[in-house]
Amino acid sequence: MLIAGISCDKDDEPVEVITPANYVGGEGFFIINEGNFGQANGSLSFFNLDNYRLYENIFQSVNNRPIGDIPSFMGIRGNVGYIVVNNSAGIEIVDLNTFESLHHIGGLGSPREILILNDEKAYVTDLAQSGLHILDLISHTVLGTVELGKSSENIILADQKVFVSNWSDYYVPAENNTVQVIDPLTDTKVSEIPVTKEPNSMVRDKNGKLWVLCSGGFMGEEVPALYRINPATLDIEGKIEFSSSDMAPSKLNINASGETLYYLNGQIFRMSIQATEIPSGPFIEYQDGALYSLFVDPDNSHIIASDAIDFQQPGKVFIYREDGSLMKEFTAGIIPGSFAYRH
């Protein structure tokens, strides 16, 4: 056995062996499994809503290589997916019908999320750099940056403006309690809206209003709060505070009609956009610890949540109906951190 083992065996690539995915596309949602930092064992899973089947490791299975270290976000435009790979400092662009890699854009620092503005241009937020990356989606190059003076996290388009949350001050020392406003026509910052510390997620409601969820700081410096902002005037129209600075709400989502907000605070909470108070109890109570991520399907308001368990083994994904009843539960990849819906 030993002697057999030393022979030249160029056919065996010295890389991780995985189970083939046999991805066939269709309608459903992608699960972006972050994997462990520095181990590049993140992956992409796809849950097909046509046949209710899970396809795992689809990127590596199709492209015969890992997607990179810490895939963290996926943007979709038509049949093309843009997967942000944080610790590989790049973006993988894939054909969603086959999941074949079309292009790779690198050199982005510590990218977090992508906002695709049109067929030609996208913005990418960055945790470790003080600017937004401007991508040319035709040439697949980085055109430049929009200087922010802060790191950037969540990004959303509202009223022809781009809103960026300044969530972290870890790599770029600067106050992390603002939402910055960018004019996508001139690629310049035009305004900055002060909010509570650590704005982590934003949604737009049926009235076009921008909702911003702030966790209050990882050391509990401030009481978490939810803001409603008029994107046209940039005025703060409302602020709802949580009951304690011990809380760390995150993952703000909104349902298909744009009337009901969802967020995570260990459990799944929901509230009407008309509400004036934070709900006192969870909408869906999760008994096995704390949930890690949340996503609300923009077509039919399915609520999709994940539990990263011990962050070492593959995590669990739960699909709930809009009434909160559990529809499906399955195991995905390591640390299911975000989701992307494909119509």
- Contacting positions for another protein (CB under 8 A): 1-10, 12-19, 38-41, 63-69, 85, 87-90, 101, 104, 106-107, 109, 128, 171, 218-219, 246-248, 250, 264-266, 289-292, 308-314, 331, 334
Looking at the Cβ atoms of 7 and 274, the one nearer to another protein is: 7
- Is there a contact between 335 and 311 (Cβ–Cβ < 8 Å)? yes
- Minimal distance in Å, beta carbon 337 to another protein? 13
- Minimal distance in Å, beta carbon 304 to another protein? 17
- Is there a contact between 335 and 69 (Cβ–Cβ < 8 Å)? no
The CA distance from 131 to 139, in Å, is: 21
Instruction: Measure CA 156 to chain center.
Output: 12
- Minimal distance in Å, beta carbon 188 to another protein? 26
Q: Please, how many CA atoms are within 13 Å of residue 315, restricted to the half-sphere of its CB?
A: 30
- Minimal distance in Å, beta carbon 248 to another protein? 5
Looking at the Cβ atoms of 208 and 289, the one nearer to another protein is: 289
Looking at the Cβ atoms of 184 and 333, the one nearer to another protein is: 333
Quote the DSSP letter at residue 3: H
Looking at the Cβ atoms of 152 and 265, the one nearer to another protein is: 265
Residues 6+ apart with CB under 8 A from 59: 43, 44, 66, 67, 83, 92, 94, 99, 101
- Is there a contact between 194 and 148 (Cβ–Cβ < 8 Å)? no
The CA distance from 166 to 176, in Å, is: 5
Looking at the Cβ atoms of 40 and 273, the one nearer to another protein is: 40
- Minimal distance in Å, beta carbon 128 to another protein? 7
